[in-house]
Amino acid sequence: MTLPREVDVAVIGGGIVGLCTALELARAGTEVLVLDDAARLGGTTANAGSLHVQMQSRFIRLYPDQVPGLEASLPLYVAAARRWAELEQELGTGFERKASGGLMVAETPESYEFLARKCEREKRLGLQVEMLGRAELARIAPYLGEAVIGAEFCAEEGKLNPLLANQAVRRALQALGGALLPETRIERLEADPRGGWTLHAGTGPLRAGRVVLAAGAGTGALLAPLGLVVPTVAEPLHMNVTEATAPLIGHLVQHAERMITLKQLSAGQCVIGGGWPARLHGPQQHPTVEASSLIGNLRLASHIVPRLARLRLIRAWAGVNTTVDGRCVLGAVPGHAGLFTAVPGDAGYTLGPLVGRLAAGAVLGRRDLDFDIAPFSPVRFAGAAALA
Ligand SMILES: Cc1cc2nc3c(=O)[nH]c(=O)nc-3n(C[C@H](O)[C@H](O)[C@H](O)COP(=O)(O)OP(=O)(O)OC[C@H]3O[C@@H](n4cnc5c(N)ncnc54)[C@H](O)[C@@H]3O)c2cc1C
């Protein structure tokens, strides 16, 4: 496909959020085109497929100032995990999704106390969470090493296979007439005096009635020339995956203090991540694996689940996550008619289908959205723009 001259809605960014936004628009009969530069591995093509619901302690430690925003977003994560289940049904294709619950483990009495306090706050906010001691863990998660003394269990957490899910969403979008244009970088947006927008790509201009910015870490750079500040930051992260083994890890496992996520795919491979850094390299700023992360991540994994030490690593990779302020940046851009943002908060793959639905609802002017998206408006950065 070549760049058309005109389209009703252009979605910039073909990650899970852009694809799901486009899918919802196509379902409503809207003409939609998704453009993606595909120069770098965005989070969608690199992520681990964990469906997160409880607050990740990594995030609380790294960005304590963002905790109030995260807490306010918790109901969104519960709904997002459910939205994945609905989407699987709607598309009639399995994503190897399992809602088998998530454990955030503690190794010291201090971290157990930290989790217990987090658990109480999350319960008050409506999450299905409980604290488990060593004896209960030995019963439901015998694969955990002896260093683990307890955990917070969240029943709604789980996992899926993102390769299957991404492919299913892309297919469904195309079956509804939605168009995808890869390898097309949008350099700049310009408001058209006749209404709508002109998108400038290397291959020429495209006119769009409305534009959704679902460009992850690239969103801020597209808004900056319009005098708007949305401080998206590219965060390159590392992942490891082992050879397949017999059923071993039944839950999504995280740590109260250390950077680890663990789970096992249906085919038996164990996927190990948790936010270990990668680096951006070369003119394309390609995410590149760091040996120290590969080793550190595996050492920690086999400390938490000792049987992992017997397995061979079959692949390591890096991808680009997007951070802003922990919350989604979602909805109409005030003062710029026909321009919308759709950037998920932390654990953005989990949020993808729900954020896509809410973004499409905003584009279509729906008033019956399941959530009030006003708190996620890009307008919250307006103060920073004025100062800049
Ligand atoms: C290694 C890793 C593991 C992760 N694991 C998990 C997990 O287990 N669970 C979870 O919930 N989340 C996880 N995440 C986070 C999650 O993957 C992301 O938050 C989510 O995929 C973001 O989706 P997105 O559609 O907003 O952005 P992306 O997937 O980043 O897509 C944005 C797209 O926009 C394109 N783009 C940018 N600028 C332009 C431009 N100017 N013109 C055209 N195209 C442009 C980019 O190339 C990219 O393809 C992980 C992230 C990483 C990196």
Residues 6+ apart with CB under 8 A from 90: none
What angle do helix axes 348-363 and 67-91 make, rounded to 10 degrees?
80
State the amino acid at position 44 in one-letter form.
Answer: T
Provide the pLDDT for residue 69: 76
Q: Is the pLDDT of residue 258 over 80?
A: yes
pLDDT at 386 over 70: no
Q: Give the pLDDT score at 4.
A: 82
What secondary structure does DSSP assign to 314-358, as a single string?
A: EEEEEEEEEESSSS-EEEE-TTSTTEEEEE--SSHHHHHHHHHHH
CA distance 333 to 223: 10
pLDDT, tens digit (0-9, with 9 covering 90-100), for 3-25: 789 999 999 999 999 999 999 99
Determine the Cα–Cα distance for residues 383 and 55; give it in Å rounded to an integer: 28
In the chain, where the domains are located: 6-45+164-232+325-387
Q: Ligand 1: which atom is nearest the Cα of residue 342?
A: 26
Using most ligand atoms within 8 A of CB, pick from 321, 329, 346, 354 the residue to mutate for ligand 1.
321
What integer pLDDT is reported at residue 385 of this predicted model? 52
Q: Which residue has the higher pLDDT, 368 or 329?
A: 329
Question: Is the CB–ligand 1 distance for residue 349 below 6 Å?
Answer: yes
6-45+164-232+325-387 has CATH 3.50.50.60 classification: yes
Query: Is any atom of ligand 1 closer than 6 Å to the C-beta of 49?
Result: yes
* Eight-state DSSP code of residue 39: S
Q: Is 33 in the pocket of ligand 1 (CB under 6 A)?
A: no
Dump pLDDT digits (tens) for 76-90. Answer: 999 999 999 999 999
